[in-house]
Amino acid sequence: MRTGAELGLVSCPGCGLIYRVAGGEDGQRMYCCRCGAGLHLRKPDTLARTWALLIAAALLYLPANVMPIMFTATLFEQRADTILGGVAALWRDGAWDIAIVVFVASVVVPILKIGVLAYLLISVQRGTTLRQRERSHLFRIIEFVGHWSMLDVFVVALLVGLVHFRTFADVQPGPGAVAFAAVVVLTMLASMSFDPRLIWGRVPRTVRDRQA
């Protein structure tokens, strides 16, 4: 199959209008005449940007799970919970269904997203042509489920806003919540900066103007 880049075709990321270009990869700066968005055969510096965001997310993932995500104070006890500690507490209290949802959304999904993005980056850099359709499906899946990792952050934000009864009960966010939110945001930005069209082939060095 011939790619759009090989045929000298580029689509506008803003409105989807198709253009035919001539010259090098991105020989000159181009803009859409309809919406004004920048035109690129492939996202500029996509691999470097995605690697940088992904490495930053991986470095923050450890403190996000080790440091407390929430501090709870009541008349009877004071407790600092990590993500896994909260999952274990929910399981002990009999809320095993909620524990599974939180574990999948807050532990499994970020790990899988980091691992899948790293796999896609390595396969693109090595020029692998195997299982291109499956890799495209993997990218769509992690792009869709990525924002669900914010579940823990939403729960902490709700509890901080609702549970505030001074000496009776109080909930405060911990440093782990900030680190975990940063992990989720960085992985979302990494998936946005990755150009999935590279799975199907790199941009040729010379793109000639061709007739349809």
Predicted structure pTM score: 0.77
> What pLDDT does 202 receive?
60
3-state secondary structure 112-142: HHHHHHHHHHHHHHCCCCCCHHHHHHHHHHH
CATH code for the structural domain at 44-194:
1.20.140
User: ∠42-43-46 over CA atoms, to 5°?
Assistant: 115
Which range is least confidently modeled, 9-23, 37-51, 159-173? 159-173
Q: Would the CA dihedral through 194, 106, 58, 117 be positive or negative?
A: negative
- 172-200 pLDDT, tens digit per residue, is 778 888 888 899 889 989 998 998 888 88
Q: Is-contact 115 146, C-beta < 8 A?
A: no
Each domain of the chain, given as residue ranges in start order, spans: 1-42+202-212, 44-194
The pair of structure tokens assigned to 182 is 């940063």
Distance linking the first and last C-alpha atoms of the chain: 15
> What pLDDT does 28 receive?
62
